[in-house]
A and B are shown apart, each in its own frame.
Chain A
Amino acid sequence: MSTEPGQEFRVALDGVYLKRGDRQVLRGLSCGFPRGRISVVLGGSGCGKSTLMRLVGGLTRPDSGVVRVAGEDITRMSNRRLFDIRERIGMLFQGGALLDSMTVFDNVALPLREHSKRTEPEIRAEVSKRLASVGLEQVEGLYPRELSGGMNRRAALARAIVTDPEIVMVDEPFSGLDPINVRRIEALLVELNRRLEITLVVTSHHLASSLRMADRIVFMVDGRAISGTPESLLASDDERVVEFLEAEKDQSTEDFAARTQAFPVGGGAL
């Protein structure tokens, strides 16, 4: 694992192996996510990005290796203790995972009603504010099935961050969103991170926004991780990284083009 000296990892995986059926998904995955920083996990489909998220949330246990969250080894932690740890984590699932029997408002209000002592008017104000921040002012009374895929994910993001957790795990926040909403969500995540010093872990296929917002990139390939800064990723001569970047380059935005000019692909070691 490329660990920078003095770097404090709020979330860290060390030598994690995981097999699903006959497929070895992770082969000694080691990586860390620094406190108060935005880390983006990049990699092709099926490389284990969502599995990494589940491991950090304690939803999946590794076959071997250690997963540390907020300084505690959660690998063999009891479910009861895991509930305590999870109060410090907010997670956006790839499919949103909103409760389909509740309205959008009740979904976002649920963590507050369960874990805070706020009054109902305070909860109402907070939920409205959070929904407005993800651009969903008019949908409070709708059910998740009445929303589009992108709106569903934005509502789920509002739910993930409504309690201001110290660690936020966001699985593919930009997929299915139009460019305006990609910018909006990106700005929201960056603002959250800067204002509350949240440790943010984002998995993404969206290279341009990843490079714009990331303090640290974890590139997953063959069940292992290559970690570094965005600049070192762009300068990497690792052929797997170069291949990924070249493929993404074809779909890149202006921002990405500008950044690759400054840091040409294949110019040095990661």
Chain B
Amino acid sequence: MRLPAVERLGFKSQLFIDNLGGLAVFTLDVLRCAALPPYRFRRFVDEVFDAGVLSLSIVCLSGFAVGAVLGLQGYDTLVRFGAEANVGAMVGLSLVRELGPVLTALLVIGRAGSAAAAQIATMVTTEQLDGLRMMSIDPVDFVVGPKALALLVVMPLLAALFIIFALFGGYMVGVVLLGLHGGTYFASLESAITFRDDIVPSFSKALVFGALVGFIATYRGYTSEPTSSGVSAATTGTVVTASVCVLLFDYVITALWGI
């Protein structure tokens, strides 16, 4: 039975294109609401708190653990070539250029992105968004915009924090545990990382991931079915779609611009 398979493929492709178009229109709508008054500064700050401040512990702890592992693995590998003095450079470059933004994005998707999708989907189910519409308040402006923009803004900041804690983790393992000289660790780190070629691209990458997570999470919540399974589908869909998109975009950005 080849036809049903072809039909299914066609249906899935059409759904994918529909969703892509829907996401594009939705993103423009969010940006339009953010650019035009009324400005929801207070709601934006609340959302930054929810997405950012409440993610601090998980980001810092994960950063420290990742840095510690990198320090351990880096030392074990480099010591074979007598190059253990470069542990700082290895840990720093991996974190700043790659692991910092990507792992932070995956952590934020799991904590704040899924929470944003679930919250908006619940508001759809309980008619809270319809209630806002009936009060002549645009839910995209009032609920969705602040959440999407908060995720976009907090991502680079959390990525920076993740990297700092990871460097500290690498220091603790490389210097305190394995006896590398502290000055050597920081000198190698300083000589390897440059602001223009490493820090700025890392920040830009995190910003792109923030936009991806913000818009995908809010879109999945906003367009969910008004049922409990709709809430669950929106949450799962956010985690899967946003994670895959972050990893794909990471490759594309790295391949195109070498960052």
- Co-assembled chains A and B: yes
Partner of B136, one of A59, A86, A95, A97: A86
- Do A98 and B133 touch (CB < 8 A)? no
Of A108-116, A215-223, A259-267, the one touching chain B: A108-116
Interface residues of A in 86-100 (CB under 8 A from B): 86-87, 89-91, 93, 95, 97-100
- Do B130 and A84 touch (CB < 8 A)? no
CB closest chain-B residue, reference A59: B130
Does B134 touch A at the CB level, under 8 Å? yes
Partner of B127, one of A84, A86, A93: A93
- Do A114 and B126 touch (CB < 8 A)? no
CB closest chain-A residue, reference B122: A100
Instruction: Tell me the bound Cα distance from A188 to B123 in angstroms.
Output: 28
For B, the interface residue count at a CB cutoff of 8 angstroms equals 13
Which residues of the partner chain A approach B178 to less than 8 Å between Cβ atoms?
Answer: none
- Do B134 and A86 touch (CB < 8 A)? yes
CB distance from B227 to the nearest CB of A (A): 13
- Do A115 and B131 touch (CB < 8 A)? no
Partner of A86, one of B123, B126, B128, B133: B133
Partner of B135, one of A59, A84, A110: A110
Scoring B131, B132, B134, B135 by chain A CB atoms within 10 A of each residue's CB, the highest score goes to B134
Which residues of the partner chain B approach A97 to less than 8 Å between Cβ atoms?
Answer: 126-128, 130-131
CB distance from A109 to the nearest CB of B (A): 11
Partner of A93, one of B123, B130, B136, B138: B130
- Do A110 and B127 touch (CB < 8 A)? no
CB closest chain-A residue, reference B129: A97
CB closest chain-A residue, reference B137: A114
Instruction: Tell me the bound Cα distance from A86 to B131 in angstroms.
Output: 11
Does A244 touch B at the CB level, under 8 Å? no
Does A36 touch B at the CB level, under 8 Å? no
- Do B134 and A59 touch (CB < 8 A)? yes
Instruction: Tell me the bound Cα distance from A89 to B136 in angstroms.
Output: 9
Give the interface size bracket for A toward B.
20 to 34
CB distance from B229 to the nearest CB of A (A): 15
- Do A95 and B126 touch (CB < 8 A)? yes
Instruction: Tell me the bound Cα distance from A90 to B136 in angstroms.
Output: 10
- Do B128 and A100 touch (CB < 8 A)? yes
Interface string of B26-37 (1 = CB under 8 A from A): 000000000000
Which residues of the partner chain B approach A111 to less than 8 Å between Cβ atoms?
Answer: 135, 137
- Do B128 and A57 touch (CB < 8 A)? no
CB distance from B170 to the nearest CB of A (A): 40
Which residues of the partner chain A approach B128 to less than 8 Å between Cβ atoms?
Answer: 97-100
Instruction: Tell me the bound Cα distance from A148 to B4 in angstroms.
Output: 51
Which residues of the partner chain B approach A93 to less than 8 Å between Cβ atoms?
Answer: 127, 130-131, 134
Interface residues of A in 11-39 (CB under 8 A from B): none
- Do A114 and B131 touch (CB < 8 A)? no
CB closest chain-B residue, reference A53: B134
- Do A115 and B136 touch (CB < 8 A)? yes
CB distance from A98 to the nearest CB of B (A): 7
Which residues of the partner chain B approach A156 to less than 8 Å between Cβ atoms?
Answer: 131
Partner of B133, one of A59, A99, A114, A159: A59
Interface string of B127-153 (1 = CB under 8 A from A): 110111111111000000000000000
CB distance from A16 to the nearest CB of B (A): 19
- Do B131 and A89 touch (CB < 8 A)? no
Which residues of the partner chain A approach B135 to less than 8 Å between Cβ atoms?
Answer: 86, 110-111, 114-115, 159
7 cross-chain pairs, A with B, having the tightest CB-CB distances, nearest first: A97-B131, A97-B127, A91-B134, A83-B136, A86-B136, A87-B136, A111-B135
- B interface residues (Cβ-Cβ under 8 A, vs A): 123, 126-128, 130-138
Could you write out 19 A-B pairs with CB less than 8 Å apart?
A: A57-B130, A57-B133, A84-B136, A86-B133, A86-B135, A86-B136, A87-B136, A91-B131, A93-B127, A93-B130, A93-B131, A95-B127, A97-B128, A100-B126, A110-B137, A111-B137, A114-B135, A115-B136, A156-B131
Known A57-B130, A97-B131, A115-B135; 12 more pairs at CB < 8 Å: A54-B130, A84-B136, A86-B136, A93-B127, A95-B127, A97-B128, A98-B128, A98-B131, A100-B126, A111-B135, A114-B137, A156-B131
- A interface residues (Cβ-Cβ under 8 A, vs B): 54, 57, 59, 83-84, 86-87, 89-91, 93, 95, 97-100, 110-111, 114-115, 156, 159
